[in-house]
Structure 1
Amino acid sequence: MDIERPLSANEGLKERSNFLRGTIANGLTRVESGALADDDTQLTKFHGFYQQDDRDLRAERGKQRMEKAFSFMVRMRVPAGILTPRQWLKVEKLALERGNGTIRLTTRETVQFHGVLKGNLQPLMQGLHEDLLDTIAACGDVNRNVIATVAPWERAHHATIATLARDLSQHLLPKTRAWHEIWIGEEKISGGVVEDEPILGRTYLPRKFKIAIALPPYNDIDVFAHDLGFIAIVQRGRIVGYNVVAGGGMGMTHGESETYPRAGTVIGFCKPQDVIDTAEKIVTVQRDHGDRSNRKHARLKYTIDDMGLERFVALVNERLAVKLAPARPFAFASTGDRTGWTQEADGTSHFTLFVENGRIRGTMLEGLHAIAALDTGRFIMTPNQNLVIADIPPAQRPQVEALLAAYGLEKPLSGLRRNAMACVALPTCGLALAESERYLPDLITRLETELERFGLSQDDITIRMTGCPNGCARPYLSEIALVGRTPGLYNLYLGGAHEGIRLNKLHRRDVDGDAIVAALSPLFGSYATERRPGEHFGDYVIRAGIVAETTAGLDFHANLSHEAGA
């Protein structure tokens, strides 16, 4: 007989929150502190922001008996990552007036505002609302921002999946009006109206839930990294349906082998008209069967591995109006972005701007302001932290080219740098154990020197760095990954697939910058001389026996090499 386990503290908090209201509104009026109450800091995640403090300043402020340097990270909800030029200009204005003057593009095709003080939260939310933007459900135990492949040159297909991303986001959005009441001043729900959350439930989901839509051959969104993925199947020039991928997730905890990343599993195929119902029913299975006692074990990947894939699929099919059909063939080529110019037959152009680790500031911010002021095309944020200036008419391309040149925004890149990603990490992320965004560019410079020695400077190799094992930059699917253990030390993983279909494997523990370069340089050398035609670095290190292949999430911690400390 199963033993009833106590619910996690967060479950009680959600139950008592009055549909995510808590005492947030009251806390905003308390000027004696830059922080919110502890319980409210959990609820504000559902409103799209996290409370943080500047960890670089903690020690000094502590000595002076001062409160921590609190601020907030605010994340927008932008399904498919698409903004109009006017919306981009509003984002820039709010970043300058209400944040720390930078725009941070994320791996979920959206914007994070950093350094937002408590008194600036409401003006920022209201500013977004004025231009049809919001932060609802960008964080918290709900379905997060729905992302989709960025391929505007595939005009009809991109429009289809972008529309699907918006429809999925809207359908799975919390129904509570708490966000509108607290931030926009909407009139409170009257006592006679009964609120409900028919899909998410009164205590919402056990943990966060992420959805991604891929358009082969592009796997820029890393479809196997998410709780739920849809892979568009194109036949005779139209999308005839989607393969369904379930149970992906990147997070784990150092030293706890019962936690692990997992690549999603293809569980079937659905027609376009059945996608919304399929997503809803998978969400409800996770709602009803996910672990609400142990938050480290609460993602859909663990639900599936605990009950078994066959039972999970059976539960989903029981709830579906149209059961899943057998999956259809598909193939991916890469996970990276097509940087630089792409032109369509009618002369419409798209420019993908490389944004190192997604941080936009200074000259780049000014240059993008000038381009947005042309009021042409769209600004599309990519899941690789870059920005596509899309749908540029032939007559305006010379103006955009001139502005890119004037602000120095079109620069040559090595294959490693253009395929690099890092999470924010220090100084603001409370989970960070080591540097990431601030350190990876310098490390890549060192590695570029080694790659150039072996004639590999233009070879596309994916590298990702995170300051902790939670995996926000999707490190466990990359060919090279560095995951922070403690300041200055990282675990080195190798062997992810270039096209994002396979997890990597731990190669070395607790390596610093010198040790990272020393470990990778000879591998670059042997790869240059021993690789087979078309063979990617991640495939080579497995074939050469450098690391074992990871075939499933449960296999992630198995078959480690002696060098990894197995």
Structure 2
Amino acid sequence: MTDDKRSKNEFIKEGSRQLRGTIAEGLADVATGAISEDDSQLTKFHGTYLQDDRDVRGERAKKKLEKAYSFMIRVRLPGGVTTSKQWLQLDAIAGTYANHTLRLTTRQTFQFHGVIKSNMKRTMQAINAAALDTLAACGDVNRNVLAASNPYLSKAHAAAHDLAVKISEHLLPKTGAYHEIWLDGKQVIDESGPAKNDEEPIYGVHYLPRKFKIVIAVPPSNDIDIYAHDLGYIAITDEKGKIAGWNVTVGGGMGMTHGEIDTFPRAADVMGFCTPEQAVDVAEKVVTVQRDWGNRHSRKRARLKYTIEDHGLGNFRAEVEKRLGYKLGEPRPFEFKSTGDVIGWEQGADKKWHLTLFIESGRIKDMPGWTLRTALREIAEMHPGGFVVTANQNLIITNVTAKAKSKIEALLKEHGIAIGTGLSGLRRNSMACVALPTCGLALAESERFMPELLTALEESLDKAGLKDDEIVIRMTGCPNGCARPYLAEIGLVGRNPGLYNLYLGAAFNGDRLNKLYAEDVDKARIVRLLEPMFAHYAKEREEGEHFGDFAIRAGYVKATTAGNRFHADLAPLKAVS
């Protein structure tokens, strides 16, 4: 008997025959709307999570009914770019198989919610028919690669998108399981009959210890939150705007567990510099070091950020360089100024126009007097330019001619959609995860609660004369941090139904974590705590000072200088009432 203390997921992956498990058999079982617990871990690698509607759990339990199971499906969409034709195909999937909404995620892609098991293969095949897939959108692999939101703004932005696509394709699992299970592909059979294990030259049979996230940024905008991710590339350009190379960041990550101080969010470190030709190779080698060095015993400490905390950045870089066979360069100067999107019209280098729409919590749907989903469908039918999903849950209508601008504006107005006008600076810079009712990890509301909280806080901002000031606020229903709340000037993280931890003091440009200010606060107390701060900020801020910086200078919280100091110095300098 061996004393193997690896986490359960390691054994599931090991015995899965490269992510096949018994998924196909589970999908064919009509006796239940669910699949087995082990298979539900494996389907994540295929881009889908088993969920249930928690709003009706109690009612169904009383009636001795099974939970209201359904699946969330996430598309792999490096850089967030879609054609108008693909938009129409994805919209049709939402109406035919999902819950009649499209959810834009904080990782530049789409999620479908409410897909029942009997429709799973049809949905996957419809996504495939749009020349898209969901492979590796979830699971212990490299996930959807983010790139600076609009690839049409400049040559550097286009290069960022191209790199995102190359890295995404290079790091895709090589298993044939996805094709076999969802697309009725032919199984690879050996002489003895059973399906063969495919080779995974990068991942091996155990894949990664935990999920892995990669992003590419183009300064001065940090719109993809580079410091929140495992691996990042910062564009360094020459005097002509061409990419000279990339600064490489490692070790960012948002998740933690309430009450466990050995878990914490961490801002990434700048590790070195690589040339454009080296970038994909660097990604592979960073991934393989994490594959071999990462913690496979505790999934709570399995992300790259803990590998670097435990081994040190210098040792990690040395191992990456050893596997590369060459040295990385030293980081080159750069500056980030903001993390959010520019809402409204922007013109690209080729003189085409691009319209960024604020999408509250990323949810595209129709409501009385505000028919966003219909409006976007009609735009896709008449506009050949395409769309881009941003890392802030917003949407860009791209490559609009000067002549077509007025047509798109008129169509949006007809459907009740305002183009950024009237939005407060706080709302423009807000994000919320899905949370209840579908996320199994949620401890509190997020998407459904954020709009009403913003309305209440806008009243406080109006009193202070701050309605138009840019302040970053983010909310999640649990501490896993999908909406990156620990890099928000105001972060709210669910603890229990209706109760949140309030964090303050992150940097507006995304390079500093925030700090816990108050625990277990409800809506009324959140407003009561923030209103006098807003008034104080309006009265005493220095020129150009952002709210997160002011919160530290004014003594509401101490600065978090590193992830491993996130839980330190928690006592606020000013009393919390």
2:361 pairs with 1:360: no
Partner of 1:552: 562
What's the offset of the Cα at 1:348? 1.3
d(CA) in 1 for partners of 2:257, 2:350: 50
Once residues 345 and 147 of structure 1 are traced to their aligned partners in structure 2, the CA distance between those partners, rounded to angstroms, is 21
Matched, 1:165 2:164: yes
Deviation at 1:406, TM superposition (A): 1.1
1:165 & 1:245 partners in 2: Cα distance?
A: 15
Partner of 1:281: 285
Distance in 2, Cα, partners of 1:564 & 1:191 = 69
Q: Partners in 1 of 2:393 and 2:97 — Cα distance?
A: 22
2:571 maps to 1:561:
yes
When the two structures are aligned, how many residues end up with a matched partner? Answer: 563
CA deviations 1:102-143 (Å, max 9, x no partner) are 000000000000000001110111011112100000000000
For residues 381-420 of structure 1, give each alpha carbon's deviation from its aligned partner in whole angstroms, at most 9, with x where no partner exists: 0000000001112232222122121112224210000000
- Equivalents in 1 of 2:350, 2:443: separation in Å? 50
The range that moved more, 150-159 or 139-148, is 150-159
Aligned twin of 1:543: 553
Is the Cα contact below 8 Å between 1:267 and 1:327 reproduced in 2?
yes
- Is the Cα–Cα contact under 8 Å of residues 274 and 322 in structure 1 kept in the other structure? no
Name which of 305, 318, 321 aligns with 2:322: 318
Choose 409-418 or 117-126, whichever is displaced more. 409-418
Give the structure 2 partner of residue 525 of structure 1. Answer: 535
Amino acid of the structure 1 residue aligned with 2:364: I
Asked if 2 retains the 8 angstrom alpha-carbon contact of 1:55 and 1:426, the reply is yes
SS in 2 for 1:450: helix
Relative to structure 1, the CA distance from residue 360 to residue 307 in structure 2 (aligned partners, 3 Å threshold; closer, same or farther) is: same
Residue 414 of structure 2: aligned partner: 406
Structure 2 stretches lacking a partner, 5+ long: none
Q: Report what 2:63 is aligned to.
A: 64
Alignment of 1:249-398 (within 5 A): 249-344=253-348, 347-362=351-366, 363-398=371-406
Is residue 2:234 matched to residue 1:235?
Answer: no
Measure the CA separation in 1 of the matches of 2:398 and 2:349.
Answer: 15
Q: CA RMSD in A?
A: 1.4
Offset, 1:155: 2.9
Cα distance, 1:309–1:345 mapped onto 2, change above 3 Å: closer
- The one-letter amino acid of 1:538's match is G
Summarize the Cα distance change of 1:345–1:380 in structure 2 as closer, same or farther, 3 Å threshold.
Answer: closer
CA displacement at 1:564 relative to structure 2:
9.0
- Structure 2 CA distance, aligned partners of 1:157 and 1:127? 33
Mean CA deviation greater in 397-406 or 526-535: 397-406
Partner in structure 2 of residue 415 of structure 1: 425
Normalising by structure 2, we get a TM-score of: 0.96
Match of residue 513, structure 1, among 499, 502, 523:
523
Q: Which moves more between the two structures, 405-414 or 458-467?
A: 405-414
The alpha carbon displacement at 1:153 in A equals: 4.9
| 2:110 corresponding residue in structure 1 | 111
Shift of 1:308: 1.3
User: Which one of 442, 446, 451 corresponds to residue 452 of structure 2?
Assistant: 442
Change beyond 3 A, Cα 1:268–1:20:
same
**1:213 aligned onto 2:216:** yes
Q: Which residue of 1 aligns with 2:486?
A: 476
Structure 1: which amino acid aligns with 2:417?
A: L
| Residues 441-463 of structure 1: CA deviation (Å, up to 9, x unaligned) | 00000000000111100000000
Structure 1 residue 29 corresponds to structure 2 residue 39: no
Unaligned runs of 5+ in 1: none
SS in 2 for 1:18: coil
Q: CA deviation at 1:190?
A: 2.2
Query: What are the residue-to-residue correspondences of 1:90-129 with 2, within 5 Å?
Result: 90-129=89-128
C-alpha distance in 1 between matches for 2:150 and 2:19: 36
Contact 2:78–2:144 (8 Å) recurs in 1: yes
TM-score, length-normalised on structure 1?
Answer: 0.98
- Percent identical: 58
Following the alignment from structure 1 to structure 2, what is the Cα–Cα distance between the partners of residues 94 and 469? 31
| Aligned AA (1:523) | M
Of 207, 224, 227, 1:224 maps to 227
For residues 375 and 190 of structure 1, the distance between their equivalents in structure 2, rounded to whole angstroms, comes to 46
For the Cα contact (< 8 Å) 1:333–1:499, is it kept in 2? Answer: yes
**Which range is displaced more, 362-371 or 233-242?**
233-242
Is the CA contact (8 Å cut-off) linking 1:152 and 1:350 kept in structure 2? no
